[in-house]
Amino acid sequence: MKLGTLKDGTRDGRLVVVSRDLTGAVAAGPIATLQQALEDWSAAAPQLEALYGELNAGTAAGTFAFDAARMHAPLPRAWQWLDASAFHSHGDLLEKVFGLEPPPEKRSVPLMYQGAGDDFLGGHDDMPLPSDADGMDFEGAVGVVVDRVPMGTAVSAAGQHIRLILLVNAASLRVIAGREAKTGFGFLQSKPATSFAPVAVTPDELGPDGWRDGRVRRPIQVYWNGREFGHPDCGQMGFSFDELIAHAASTRNLGAGTIIGSGTISNANYREVGSCCIAERRGIEMEDFGKPRTDYMKFGDRVRIEMLDAQGQSIFGAIDQRVVQARLP
Amino acid sequence: MKLGTLKDGTRDGRLVVVSRDLTGAVAAGPIATLQQALEDWSAAAPQLEALYGELNAGTAAGTFAFDAARMHAPLPRAWQWLDASAFHSHGDLLEKVFGLEPPPEKRSVPLMYQGAGDDFLGGHDDMPLPSDADGMDFEGAVGVVVDRVPMGTAVSAAGQHIRLILLVNAASLRVIAGREAKTGFGFLQSKPATSFAPVAVTPDELGPDGWRDGRVRRPIQVYWNGREFGHPDCGQMGFSFDELIAHAASTRNLGAGTIIGSGTISNANYREVGSCCIAERRGIEMEDFGKPRTDYMKFGDRVRIEMLDAQGQSIFGAIDQRVVQARLP
């Protein structure tokens, strides 16, 4: 099924069920928010699935036209947001061109940082940022939402906690990231608000060819100011989401509604399929020309991130955002 | 005033007002949770202050005996938990003994990592951890809770967002932290659940001598298995909380209920006043003897962290916890 959160003036919005073809939506009855559903998923999911069936059959009372611009992120805020860097071709390239020390055990221990979950952006919201000198970058990624994962959950048991899949724009400020990477304390000022496509989907919506071995098996599509920037396949993820969840839960419980991101999607043949962030293209340019030729985003730039199913239909609805100068207090 | 959260079987507990002497408490009327109060503080605070006055005067209906063991963390979960390392004597010592590269601009840019806010522990809860080979350490610290802080808030305007002060045990797994510090992605598996003393207090509760220039001006007291381990003064904080808030909000908004921690409290004369974490004592031993003599915690160990006012009364109630082997799935 497909779920989203309608902006209704409250902080956490109103949970709605969205039709498979993204044309209609209906309020999720007594289940007010997606967080509420995730905290009691076994009770909520059958009710939501039943409503989804009615909605797709055209028999759900109260159906209204789906409008992506009226949608929050599926979780307008999350009690936990963790983002990995699970695509090896991306990490390997950036290490090489920036002369970085490879992280210890990089093929056996996932790289993952704790991100800010308190203030997400909807997929059609403007992205307010303070300065265009910070190296404003987009990052096309996928993510999963889990229910409560107990500390010490094994990789083999982790997948059963995956309830929803998300499409993500994990924006970065690359100039600040360079400094923060040297502190050992991780990324903080370099990670502004993260944005999400308007609809979250259960794994079955991707079909057996689109979701396998804890990985999304579809290409992502990233456009920058209307021009295609990359369309790498998500299936080349070096660690599965099962492995990422077990990594995150090794020394603590993960609360229901925790989101875990894949990190920038990247394929080994990035010269053919393109990239999902500007930093990677700049890395390729450094390899090819000795220095980057592509600048980071300017205010007014647009980013569009989408994923289509085998029939060419949008799965999550598009992320389609404009970067704007933040109005500071 | 003093506020706490009673365990009542719900995920976020029940907000209670606690008497100044920590003997009585009363449910906070229509304001169900502390998060709810923080999201509309200007409306909630006068109601809570009025109730606090009645409680201290002995006239509040429904008063019951305060029992620290029945208390959650004041926020059982937070939409954002950020922890700094704001005591220079601590960082300088650990850099020296471990031969670490000093972080860039360490005296002008605070060190701060994004922590997990989804699953806090109450001050009298056991701390379940997976392995005593991970270097289990306590960290005595203070923290502030802010209401919503807009992106770009200046240091001079940051202090007005501080609504509550907390006493913190920001436990660490030092063996894992050593590996994670090398990844650039920050601390994740090395930071298990953080614990909080049962009562949060408004800054005025510390008095003009106890809260000044965005710093708590009282010593913390840390006991390990009943023996005093350290009592450094919190006033030697190298960055004020105002500076930490402005740092955190420079590229994003901070949601209401964000908690910002000071990091391990430490004084330059740590040989006299002792330490608030085992890692610092081990650093002193490396300096003195060439190698550490004190092992990290074992299962069954107890940690007690408290702060007393000028009259010797506990301000926040004590953190008093036992480290136990987690029962893994």
- Which residues 124-163 of chain B have a CB within 8 Å of chain A? 128-130, 134, 150-154, 157
Encode pLDDT of B25-41 as tens digits: 999 989 999 999 999 99
Q: B118 vs chain A: nearest CA distance in angstroms? A: 5
Q: What's the confidence (pLDDT) of residue B104? A: 79
Q: What's the confidence (pLDDT) of residue A264? A: 97
Q: What's the confidence (pLDDT) of residue B103? A: 84
Number of Cβ atoms within 10 Å of the Cβ of B104: 12
Subunit contact B151:A128, Cβ cutoff 8 A: yes
Q: Percent of chain B at pLDDT above 90?
A: 94
Number of Cβ atoms within 10 Å of the Cβ of B155: 15
Subunit contact A181:B184, Cβ cutoff 8 A: yes
**Of residues B82, B100, B152, nearest to A326 (C-beta):** B152
Select from B35, B172, B252 the residue whose CB has the most chain A CBs within 10 Å, as the one to mutate to test that interface.
B252
- Which residues 241-270 of chain A have a CB within 8 Å of chain B? 247-248, 250-255, 257-258
Q: What's the confidence (pLDDT) of residue A98? A: 77
Encode pLDDT of B84-101 as tens digits: 999 999 999 988 887 888
Q: A183 vs chain B: nearest CA distance in angstroms? A: 5
Subunit contact A118:B153, Cβ cutoff 8 A: no
Alpha-carbon distance of A264 to A170, in angstroms, equals: 8
Query: Residue B323: is its pLDDT beyond 90?
Result: yes
Q: B19 vs chain A: nearest CA distance in angstroms? A: 30
Contacts of A255 in chain B (CB under 8 A): 77, 118-119
Q: What's the confidence (pLDDT) of residue B157? A: 98
pLDDT tens-place values along chain A, 329 residues long: 999 999 999 999 999 999 999 999 999 989 999 999 999 999 999 999 999 999 999 999 999 999 999 999 999 999 999 999 999 999 999 888 878 888 878 899 999 999 999 999 999 999 999 999 999 999 999 999 999 999 999 999 999 999 999 999 999 999 999 999 889 999 999 999 999 999 999 999 999 999 999 999 999 999 999 999 999 999 999 999 999 999 999 999 999 999 999 999 999 999 999 999 999 999 999 999 999 999 999 999 999 999 999 999 999 999 999 999 999 89
On the 0-12 / 13-18 / 19+ scale of CB atoms within 10 A, A288 is: exposed
Contacts of A129 in chain B (CB under 8 A): 251
Number of Cβ atoms within 10 Å of the Cβ of B150: 15
Q: What would the mean pLDDT of B103-126 be, rounded to a whole number?
A: 95
Subunit contact A252:B80, Cβ cutoff 8 A: no
Contacts of residue A15, defined as CB under 8 A and 6 or more positions apart, other chains included, come to A3, A4, A5, A6, A27, A28, A31, A32, A33, A34, A36, A37
Contacts of A176 in chain B (CB under 8 A): 251
- State the DSSP string of B17-42: EE-TTSSEEEE-TT---HHHHHHTHH
Q: What are the tokens at B289?
A: 């003897």
Residue B272 has φ and ψ, to the nearest 5°, of -85, -45
Subunit contact A252:B116, Cβ cutoff 8 A: yes
Encode pLDDT of A156-176 as tens digits: 999 999 999 999 999 999 999
Encode pLDDT of B17-75 as tens digits: 999 999 999 999 899 999 999 999 999 999 999 999 999 999 999 999 999 999 999 99
Subunit contact A114:B186, Cβ cutoff 8 A: yes
**Of residues B101, B186, B326, nearest to A113 (C-beta):** B186
**Of residues B82, B251, B258, nearest to A130 (C-beta):** B251
What chain B residue is nearest to A249 in terms of C-alpha separation? B189
**Angle separating helix axes B278-289 and B88-98, nearest 10 degrees:** 50
Select from A179, A252, A327 the residue whose CB has the most chain B CBs within 10 Å, as the one to mutate to test that interface.
A252
Q: How many degrees, rounded to 5, is the angle at CA A312 between CA A308 and CA A314?
A: 40
pTM score, two decimals? 0.98
**Of residues B79, B119, B129, nearest to A117 (C-beta):** B79
Q: What's the confidence (pLDDT) of residue A103? A: 84
